[in-house]
A = this chain, B = another copy of it.
Amino acid sequence: MSDTKKMCVVVFGGTVDKLYPAAIMASGAVMNDMEVDIFLTFWGLLAFRKGTPKQLSSVSKDYEELGPEMMRVMSEKNVPSWYDTLVQAKEMGNIKVHACAMTADLFEMELDDFEPIVDDIIGVGEFVGMSAEADTTLYLG
């Protein structure tokens, strides 16, 4: 048995502010030499459709007043996008990105319809099995 700690992350939310934490938490896990399994589902999966990460600009409506300010500050400070942050973390560590089979089926999408960062399409049963063995699991709603 390996001593490597594992983190599982469910990415359900699909606005820019909700996707940043997926990338940031995964980066934090990589800093701790942890393995990461990311499960993209619902709006979180739709955000990874080919071409979407570059276009996506929506911020959760709950923070409409603060959203533009956050986006402006991020742009001023040249903060990399949530997608580039995740790509970078994946290059540096052991991160696997899985698409939820049910959501993919629903929208009749195949692996090729997603950004190349997505490794495969798996069922929820397989992901929950991973999560049961992980040291920590985050559900990003």
Which A residues are within 8 Å of any B CB, using their own CB? 5, 7-8, 10, 12-15, 17-18, 20-21, 24-25, 27-29, 31-32, 34, 41-43, 46, 58, 60-63, 66, 70, 73-74, 77, 79, 102, 106-107, 123-125, 127-129, 131-141
**Contact of B46 with A128 in the complex, beta carbons under 8 Å:** no
Q: Distance in Å from the Cβ of A11 to the closest Cβ of chain B? A: 10
**Contact of B62 with A42 in the complex, beta carbons under 8 Å:** no
**Contact of A32 with B106 in the complex, beta carbons under 8 Å:** no
Q: Which residues of B contact A134 (CB under 8 A)?
A: 136
Q: Distance in Å from the Cβ of A96 to the closest Cβ of chain B? A: 17
Q: Which B residue sits closest to A108, measured CB to CB?
A: B73
Q: Distance in Å from the Cβ of A93 to the closest Cβ of chain B? A: 12
Q: Which 8 A-B pairs have the closest CB atoms?
A: A141-B141, A31-B125, A28-B128, A28-B124, A138-B139, A5-B132, A131-B136, A132-B135
Q: Distance in Å from the Cβ of A28 to the closest Cβ of chain B? A: 4
Q: Which B residue sits closest to A79, measured CB to CB?
A: B106
Partner of A62, one of B43, B123, B128: B43
**Contact of B18 with A128 in the complex, beta carbons under 8 Å:** no
Q: Which B residue sits closest to A8, measured CB to CB?
A: B136
